[in-house]
Amino acid sequence: MNGEIHESNLFSPRVSKDSSMPINVLAFAGSPRRHGNSETLLDWVLASMGDDPDVAIEKIALTDANINPCRGCNACEKLNKCVQRDGMDIVHDKIIAADCILISSPIFCLGLCAQVKALVDRAQVFRSRKYVLKLPVVPPERKGKRLGVFLATAGQKWDYVFDAAVPSIKCFFHVTEVRDADISYLMINGVDEKGAIESHPTAQSDAQKLGKTVIAELKKRLAA
């Protein structure tokens, strides 16, 4: 099973592996363009994570995931769930179950693409659970044992091109009980045309390194 990535359109079960200590990795490929630069970057990280036989990976392409924007109705503050019935119903449980959550996004107009922003905004249900209803998002023993990864690519070369996207990603991880210090970032600017990231000098090796580092850290924390 090494290196295998199971891609789900939300209707197939998680890959289960014969292991005493499976590490559940949940990855959101946020770009509407399939297999472009940001998703390639994600695939590199996932392939490197998947080298470890204890790792079970599920990748969800947000463009196919049917996650609507938040309606701003605040009903989740009372109901502890969203009133919308869509792809988020399934994603919600997967977010809670994951040991590591990765989100990849291209930068469009200096921000997250709309598909990723919709996912981030729909995490409002976790915010309501945590801060309004004062209920646990994950069991207490799993706090501090969840890691987050944000991967982004941008066509522009400006070094500030990711600045507006990061705070929204921090919000998502904050309400899903991934601590700020437990988010890793790999953001590559100056890649625009499909495949441009392939000729980037460091992106692939940095992605592979990141995958290994995150899994090693998770194993340490889960064993503790």
Q: Which residues bind other proteins (CB under 8 A)?
A: 31-33, 36, 63, 69-73, 106, 108-115, 117-118, 120-121, 123-124, 160, 163-165, 167-168, 170-172, 194
Residue 60 token pair: 């969800």
Q: Between 165 and 207, whose beta carbon lies closer to other proteins?
A: 165
Closest approach of other proteins to the CB of residue 114, in Å: 4
- Please identify, using beta-carbon distances, which residue of 71 and 209 lies nearer to other proteins: 71
Between 13 and 72, CB nearer to other proteins: 72
DSSP states of 34-81 as a string? TTSHHHHHHHHHHHHHHTSTTEEEEEEEGGGS--PPP----THHHHSS
Taking alpha carbons only, the member of 182, 224, 218 closest to residue 54 is 218
Cβ proximity to other proteins: between 14 and 81 the closer is 81
Q: How far is the CB of 172 from other proteins (least distance, A)?
A: 7
* CA angle (60, 65, 69) in 5-degree steps: 125
User: Could you give the CA distance from residue 10 to residue 181 in angstroms, rounded to a whole number?
Assistant: 29
Q: Which is nearer to other proteins, 8 or 31 (CB)?
A: 31
We find the least distance from the C-beta atom of residue 108 to other proteins, in angstroms, to be: 5
SS3 112: strand
Residue 9 burial (CB count, 10 A): 11
Contact 184, 136 (CB under 8 A): no
Shortest distance, position 98 Cβ to other proteins, whole Å = 19
Q: Residue 85 CB, nearest distance to other proteins (Å)?
A: 16
